[in-house]
Each structure stands twice: as structure tokens, then as C-alpha cells.
Amino acid sequence: EEIYNHGSINPVFKSGGTVCAAVCLVQDIIKRVKNSRRLKILGEFGHHISKVKSLESACHII
């Protein structure tokens, strides 16, 4: 199974300016990655389908 995450780590400062902790935020972006892939495939399919002139040519393209 594929897992895609986007994350960032940011320091938390004390009033004196020194770092006392860190905040780590992680977001699951698998839906975004999968949707991007689907759109790419559909775009490529649409490009090839526009070249179809007959049933026989469709079989060769697909």
C-alpha cells in the first residue's frame, strides 16, 4: 500500500528566544496523489480517443 504525507516541523520559542519544543504537522495527501494520477490517465485517454476514426483504429489505440 502506498502512503503519501506532507509534513512540516516548526520550533516553539521561549520568551527569551530559545527553542523549547517543536510542532510537527503531518497531512495525509494520498487522495490528492491518486486524483492527480487519475486526471493524468483520463487526459491521456482523451487525447488518444480524439484520434479514433473507426472501431479498428480504436482497438489499435487502446
Q: Whole-prediction pTM value?
A: 0.61
Confidence tier at 32 by pLDDT (50, 70, 90): very high
What pLDDT score does 9 carry?
98
Distances in Å between the alpha carbon of 18 and those of 12, 21, 23, 27?
8, 9, 15, 27
Instruction: Parse the chain into domains and list their residue ranges.
Output: 5-61
Phi, psi (deg, nearest 5) at residue 53: -115, -20
Instruction: List phi, psi (to 5°) of 28.
Output: -75, 120
pLDDT-based confidence at 58, cuts 50/70/90?
Answer: confident
> Which one has a higher pLDDT value, 10 or 46?
10
Question: Sorting pLDDT into bands at 50, 70 and 90, what band is 62?
Answer: low
